[in-house]
């Protein structure tokens, strides 16, 4: 059974797959739903589902499988309790040493960053997910499109809209 060797049912394959995808999935879910505990639970639940259905899911479909399962589980659980994006605890600005290199370096006041963060929190789920995957995870639009199974064009539109709404929210400061 050659195809069995790369099956998700093979424990080593499963472990490897988990190790290479779990973290980004967690971050993705966090950006989308805004709750870190929930994101980690969803990762666990979706991977257990993957394991239980490992014979039906091929390795090349496994990634979109866990993303779909986790997203659906997340949507049905957030419907009950509409949480405000709680990212202030985790999304922080890194120490400014690297940004000094930019010739157009602009000193951003703490207040500005707080305002930006709360504007991000107010974005729609999809816009925030795309915006943060692009800005924090440095994912290309193509990669983001693959994660959520939509076209690159759709992601680019979401990103554009995200920037426009951030601009509106922040105002002229």
Partner 1 sequence: MLNNKKDDIFLSRWITGELSPEELTEFESHPEYEYYKKIMIGSDMLELSAEYDVDTALSKIKQVKNTSAQHSKPILRLWPYATAAASIAIILGIFFFNLDQSYTTHYGELVTVILPDGSEMILNAKSEASYNKKKWETNRTVSLQGEAYFKVKKGSKFTVSTKNGDVTVLGTEFNVQSYDTFFEAICYEGKVRVTHSNDQEILTAGKAYRNIHNMPSEKWTSDELKPSWVDKVSSFRSTPIKYVFNELEEQYNIKIKIDHIDTSTIYTGTFPNNDKEIALRTVFSTLGMQYKILQDNTTVVVEK
**DSSP 8-state code for residue 85:** -
Give the whole-angstrom CA distance, residue 127 versus residue 24.
Answer: 17
Q: Please report how close the Cβ of residue 35 comes to partner 1 at its closest, in angstroms.
A: 12
- Closest to partner 1 by CB, 18 vs 33, is 18
Q: Please report how close the Cβ of residue 77 comes to partner 1 at its closest, in angstroms.
A: 18
**Is 133 among the residues that bind partner 1 (CB under 8 A)?**
no
Give the whole-angstrom CA distance, residue 28 versus residue 20.
Answer: 14
Nearest to 28 by CA among 169, 131, 151: 131
Q: Counting Cβ atoms within 10 Å, is residue 168 exposed (0-12), middle (13-18) or buried (19+)?
A: exposed
**Is 93 among the residues that bind partner 1 (CB under 8 A)?**
yes
Q: Please report how close the Cβ of residue 76 comes to partner 1 at its closest, in angstroms.
A: 20
- Closest to partner 1 by CB, 50 vs 79, is 50
Give the whole-angstrom CA distance, residue 132 versus residue 122.
Answer: 13
Distances (CA, A) of 123 to 60, 126, 130: 32, 8, 10
Give the range of 62-70, 78-86, 121-129, 150-158 binding partner 1 by CB under 8 A: 150-158
Give the range of 15-23, 62-70, 72-80, 121-129 binding partner 1 by CB under 8 A: 15-23
**Is 142 among the residues that bind partner 1 (CB under 8 A)?**
no
**Is 83 among the residues that bind partner 1 (CB under 8 A)?**
no
């Amino acid at each position: 059974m050659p195809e069995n060797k790369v099956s998700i049912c093979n424990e080593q394959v499963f472990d490897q797959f988990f190790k290479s995808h779990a973290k980004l999935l967690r971050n993705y879910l966090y950006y989308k739903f805004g709750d870190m505990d929930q994101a980690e639970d969803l990762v666990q639940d979706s991977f257990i589902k993957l394991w239980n259905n490992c014979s039906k899911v091929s390795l090349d479909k496994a990634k979109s499988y866990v993303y779909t399962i986790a997203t659906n589980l997340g949507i049905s659980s957030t419907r009950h309790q509409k949480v405000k994006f709680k990212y202030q605890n985790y999304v922080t600005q890194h120490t400014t040493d690297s940004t000094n290199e930019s010739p157009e370096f602009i000193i951003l006041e703490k207040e500005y960053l707080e305002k930006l963060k709360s504007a991000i929190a107010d974005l729609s789920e999809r816009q925030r997910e795309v915006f943060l995957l692009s800005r924090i995870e440095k994912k290309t639009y193509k990669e983001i499109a693959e994660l959520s199974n939509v076209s690159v064009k759709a992601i680019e539109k979401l990103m554009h809209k995200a920037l426009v709404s951030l601009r509106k929210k922040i105002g002229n400061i």
